[in-house]
């Protein structure tokens, strides 16, 4: 049985192995990803972002439990930061999802960012496809905390949840600037703490003041992820958002943008790899750099010279 066949049959080891290949040797994974592609597109991808420690993992665990009660299967991708100095990482999100580890309807995978800066790992998109092909109805993607790093998730998810908590102090001001654009749903977690009501009120006010013309006004839910309070409403909110996207063929439009970005990335990487492969042979690139350094050529002229040699069989890159 090939890896792709194993994955379509729901074999956990096959899923696990292909994810590893996608992370470590992406080019090698291409045939399997190609075989799986016709079986993708059915899963709903839900992104979860928010400040470190706001309860994202605990929430994902709870939301998953609720979806399991409703008979849905779930994939979870939990991303934690890789140390830029050592390349190592502690992937600790599963601590909050312990009891899901033995549920055959749930597949959880932890990933280090491995140098990627947008809050996700580079391989995340392909891991989503693998879990999608494996038949998961919902796929949660937990990003590393909000910073400048929440950008990737909107380009990846069908629905984006932004998690906030009381007591962020001034942080919330800086966070706020970016979140209005990315949130489809707000969750104010740790509602057992003081001031949660104020965060909800502040968010509602921001949404009222937002001059953007909105067809979808992000709902604001408050939850206590540790006890499960408010979780059912969030699941309903996710379903409503998906319903809204489907009704207005917005889901197609969002996904089409994703396909565009993905194809463009493959093209860019392919072209660059091919050109650089060609120019690295026999020190051609070094010679060109020397000419630029000596002011005999400018960087534009050098780049054009490189681009002119493009022969274009298109099979480079990953």
Partner 1 sequence: MKERPIRVLIAKPGLDGHDRGAKVLARALRDAGMEVIYTGLRQTPEQIVGTGIQEDVDVIGLSILSGAHTHLFPRVMELLRERGANDILVIGGGIIPEDDIPALKKEGIAEIFTPGTTTQAVIDYIKENVRQG
Ligand X SMILES: Nc1nc2c(ncn2[C@@H]2O[C@H](COP(=O)(O)OP(=O)(O)OP(=O)(O)O)[C@@H](O)[C@H]2O)c(=O)[nH]1
User: What does the binding site for Mg ion look like in residue numbers (CB under 5 A)?
Assistant: 56-57, 93
Residues that bind partner 1 (CB under 8 A): 12-13, 15-17, 19-20, 23-25, 82-83, 86-92, 94-95, 98-99, 101-102, 107-110, 112, 114
19 binds, among Mg ion, ligand X, partner 1, none (CB under 5 to 8 A by kind): partner 1
Applying the rule CB under 6 A, the residues between 139 and 158 that interact with ligand X are 145
- Smallest gap from Cβ 42 to partner 1, in A, equals 21
Q: Phi, psi (5° rounding) for residue 111?
A: -135, 140
Taking CB under 6 A as the binding criterion, the range among 4-12, 222-230, 234-242, 282-290 that sits at the site for ligand X is: 222-230
User: Is 238 in contact with 46 (CB distance < 8 Å)?
Assistant: yes
By CB under 6 A, residue 189 contacts ligand X: yes
Which is nearer to ligand X, 192 or 291 (by Cβ)? 192
Applying the rule CB under 6 A, the residues between 47 and 76 that interact with ligand X are 50, 52-58
Residue 163 and residue 145: Cα distance in Å, rounded? 10
Applying the rule CB under 6 A, the residues between 238 and 277 that interact with ligand X are none
Tell me the CA distances in angstroms from 99 to 53, 58, 62, 95, 304, one per residue in order. Answer: 20, 12, 11, 9, 57
217 binds, among partner 1, Mg ion, ligand X, none (CB under 5 to 8 A by kind): none
Which is nearer to Mg ion, 36 or 185 (by Cβ)? 185
User: Is 194 in contact with 222 (CB distance < 8 Å)?
Assistant: no
Which is nearer to partner 1, 75 or 145 (by Cβ)? 75
Residue 51 token pair:
């400040």
Residue 117 token pair:
């800066």
Which is nearer to Mg ion, 79 or 182 (by Cβ)? 79
User: Is 187 in contact with 221 (CB distance < 8 Å)?
Assistant: yes
Residue 119 and residue 73: Cα distance in Å, rounded? 25
Question: CB neighbours of 224 closer than 8 A, spacing ≥ 6?
Answer: 189, 190, 191, 192, 230
Q: What order of strands is seen across the sheet that includes strand 74-80?
A: 106-112, 74-80, 138-142, 44-49, 159-164, 185-188, 220-222
Which is nearer to partner 1, 35 or 91 (by Cβ)? 91
- Residues of this chain that bind ligand X (CB under 6 A): 50, 52-58, 93, 96, 145, 189-190, 192-193, 224-226
């Amino acid at each position: 049985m090939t890896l792709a066949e194993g994955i379509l049959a729901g074999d956990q080891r096959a899923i696990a192995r292909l994810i590893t290949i996608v992370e470590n040797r992406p080019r090698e994974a291409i045939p399997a990803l190609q075989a799986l592609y016709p079986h993708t597109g059915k899963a709903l991808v839900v992104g979860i972002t928010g400040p470190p420690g706001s309860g994202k993992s605990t929430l994902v665990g709870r939301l998953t439990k609720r979806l399991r009660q409703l008979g849905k299967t779930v994939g979870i991708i939990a991303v934690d930061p890789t140390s830029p100095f050592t390349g190592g990482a502690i992937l600790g999100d599963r601590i909050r999802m312990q009891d899901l580890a033995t549920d055959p309807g749930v597949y959880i995978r932890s990933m280090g960012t491995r140098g990627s800066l947008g809050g996700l790992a580079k391989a995340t998109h392909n891991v989503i496809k693998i879990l999608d092909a494996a038949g998961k109805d919902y796929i949660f993607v937990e990003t590393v905390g909000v910073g400048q790093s929440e950008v990737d998730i909107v380009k990846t998810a069908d629905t984006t949840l932004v998690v906030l908590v009381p007591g962020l102090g001034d942080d919330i001001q800086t966070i706020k600037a970016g979140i209005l654009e990315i949130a489809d749903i707000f969750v104010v977690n740790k509602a057992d703490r003081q001031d949660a009501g104020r965060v909800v009120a502040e968010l509602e006010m921001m949404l009222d003041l937002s001059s953007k013309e909105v067809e979808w006004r992000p709902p604001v839910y408050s939850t206590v992820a540790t006890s499960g309070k408010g979780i059912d409403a969030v699941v309903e909110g996710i379903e409503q958002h998906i319903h809204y996207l489907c009704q207005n063929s917005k889901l197609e439009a969002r996904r089409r943008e994703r396909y565009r970005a993905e194809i463009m990335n493959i093209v860019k990487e392919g072209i660059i790899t091919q050109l650089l492969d060609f120019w690295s042979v026999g020190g051609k690139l070094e010679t060109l750099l020397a000419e630029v350094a000596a002011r005999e050529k400018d960087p534009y002229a050098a780049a054009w010279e490189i681009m002119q040699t493009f022969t274009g069989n298109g099979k480079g890159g990953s």
